[in-house]
Structure 1
Amino acid sequence: MNLGNDILKILDKQYAPNTLVETSYKNLDLAFKTDATGAPILLFLGKKDEQGQIKGERYVRRLKKSEDGKLLKDHWDLKGKAT
């Protein structure tokens, strides 16, 4: 499953540093962890089960910045099933 533009808009925002954020989009549940700067870096996308765990896909964000802080690379890698 590719991440759509609407989901990427949610993930491009800044959130509280080092937290787990849970939200939903249409019929999907999203949970993502943020790094020290508040950028989402780990995403679980799918449907929650009875225990609150998301069953679906797991994505990891690759952020590469230059020494002066400019963003060089920013993309999401599908890492497999989230169970």
Structure 2
Amino acid sequence: MPLHPELDKKLSKSFEPKTSIDDVFKGYDITFLTNEHGEPVTLFFGKRRPDGLIVGERYTRTIKREPGSLAVKHSHWDNRGKIMR
């Protein structure tokens, strides 16, 4: 299942580098982790448990850069499966 276009747009922004951000999107809980450039690279999408972890889906982002720069040439999100624990 591809990401919702609005969620993809939200995750295309830059955030604080190397951090975990908890948020809500259309009634679902999300947590995403950023890399050293502040780009979201791991996404947890579903319902948050009382201990703070999310049960749902995990996605990872692949980023291709312009040669010789940090500019993003292309990126896409891959569904890595269900999170049940």
Task: Verify same fold: TM over 0.5.
Answer: yes
Unaligned runs of 5+ in 2: none
Question: Normalising to structure 2: TM-score of the pair?
Answer: 0.89
Partner of residue 78, structure 1: 79
The aligned amino acid for 1:77 is D
What is the Cα deviation at residue 71 of structure 1? Answer: 2.7
Once the two structures are superposed, what CA deviation does each residue of 1:3-24 show, in whole Å capped at 9, x if it has no partner?
A: 1111111101100000001100
1:1-83 alignment to 2 at 5 Å? 1-69=1-69, 70-83=71-84
CA shift, 1:2, in A, is 2.5
Distance apart, 1:73 and its partner CA: 2.6
What's the TM-score once normalised by structure 1's chain length? 0.91
User: How many positions carry a matched residue from both structures?
Assistant: 83
Q: Using the alignment, how far apart are the partners of 1:36 and 1:5 within structure 2?
A: 24
Partner SS state of residue 67, structure 1: coil
Task: Find the aligned partners of 1:20 and 1:35 in 2 and give their Cα distance.
Answer: 10
1:16-60 deviation digits (Å, cap 9, x = unpaired): 000001100121001000000000000000000121110000000
Shift, 1:68, TM fit: 1.9
CA distance in 2, matches of 1:74, 1:45: 19
